[in-house]
């Protein structure tokens, strides 16, 4: 047999295959290492994401109460602003028509024209039920206030539109005050005084069933002859004194 046409060097030699470890599609051991590295990297990234989410949730849990507190504080300020506007309107209306002072259960209707069509101010932003035409109660005797009454209560956060205090008995107030008081702001209620300042008060600190609070905050100087029958000294509530609800 003539092998003269067979290329030199190819005679009797084995076919040349590439090194399986260098060029096989799956790459052998180096490819496996790369996959492991990819898994580790993915795990690290995944762990980082989880850690980020955990930290974010913790921060959120820490921040939410602070945000809620800030919003509640803003509502308290807004409520005070509403009371300030209502007090201003009440004062203007009484100055404009002294012979017909704003009083009674329809006082909010009388102040309507002074609100330029806005009814928003009649409601406390923390009064979510809004069962009444207004979230604020007007001291039924506020229309009797005069110069000596600067630190007496005109209106406040309350569940009824009118607050009957002067001339009442302890029994009457014990059935109304604990039920109608409305400490909507951090267990306090905003109170508008006759000199125009607004201050949050704990209900117990202005409770008219106490003789001294009745005289100090509720009864006009001109009505000094009208007692609250059966009032008690502050700090000494009798056993029949209903406990104020928050």
Instruction: Name the residues that contact Zn ion, by CB under 5 A.
Output: 79, 124, 157, 184, 190
Q: Using the minimum distance from each CB to Zn ion, give the nearer residue, 157 or 207.
A: 157
Instruction: Give Cβ neighbours of residue 46 (< 8 Å, ≥ 6 apart).
Output: none
CA distance 152 to 90: 15
Q: Using the minimum distance from each CB to Zn ion, give the nearer residue, 144 or 217.
A: 217
Q: In whole angstroms, how close is the CB of 142 to Zn ion at the nearest point? A: 18
Q: Using the minimum distance from each CB to Zn ion, give the nearer residue, 103 or 184.
A: 184
Q: In whole angstroms, how close is the CB of 206 to Zn ion at the nearest point? A: 15
Q: Using the minimum distance from each CB to Zn ion, give the nearer residue, 124 or 192.
A: 124
CB-CB contact of 140 with 103 (8 Å): yes
Q: In whole angstroms, how close is the CB of 96 to Zn ion at the nearest point? A: 27
Q: In whole angstroms, how close is the CB of 85 to Zn ion at the nearest point? A: 13
Q: Using the minimum distance from each CB to Zn ion, give the nearer residue, 170 or 191.
A: 191
How many other C-beta atoms lie within 10 A of the C-beta of residue 236?
Answer: 8
Report the candidate in 175, 179, 80 with the shortest Cα–Cα distance to residue 124: 80
Q: In whole angstroms, how close is the CB of 79 to Zn ion at the nearest point? A: 3
CA atoms 131, 139, 104, 97: torsion sign: negative
How many other C-beta atoms lie within 10 A of the C-beta of residue 100?
Answer: 11
């Amino acid at each position: 047999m003539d092998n003269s046409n067979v290329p030199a060097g190819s005679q009797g030699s084995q076919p040349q295959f590439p090194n399986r470890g260098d060029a096989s599609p799956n790459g052998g051991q180096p490819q496996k290492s790369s996959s492991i590295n990819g898994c580790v990297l993915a795990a690290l990234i995944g762990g980082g994401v989880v850690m980020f989410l955990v930290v974010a949730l913790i921060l959120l849990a820490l921040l939410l109460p602070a945000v809620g507190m800030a919003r509640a504080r803003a509502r308290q300020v807004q409520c005070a602003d509403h009371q300030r506007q209502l007090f201003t309107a009440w004062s203007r209306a009484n100055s404009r028509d002294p012979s017909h002072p704003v009083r009674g259960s329809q006082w909010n209707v009388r102040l309507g024209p002074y609100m330029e069509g806005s009814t928003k101010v009649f409601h406390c932003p923390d009064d979510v039920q809004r069962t009444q035409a207004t979230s604020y109660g007007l001291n039924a005797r506020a229309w009797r206030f005069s110069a000596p009454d600067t630190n007496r209560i005109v209106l406040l956060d309350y569940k009824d539109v009118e607050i009957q205090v002067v001339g009442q008995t302890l029994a009457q107030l014990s059935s109304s005050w604990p039920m109608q008081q409305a400490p909507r702001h951090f267990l306090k209620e905003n109170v508008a005084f006759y000199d125009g300042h607004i201050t949050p008060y704990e209900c117990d600190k202005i409770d008219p069933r106490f003789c001294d609070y009745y005289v100090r905050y509720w009864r006009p100087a001109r009505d000094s002859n009208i007692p609250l029958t059966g009032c008690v000294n502050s700090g000494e509530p009798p056993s029949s004194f209903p406990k104020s609800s928050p």
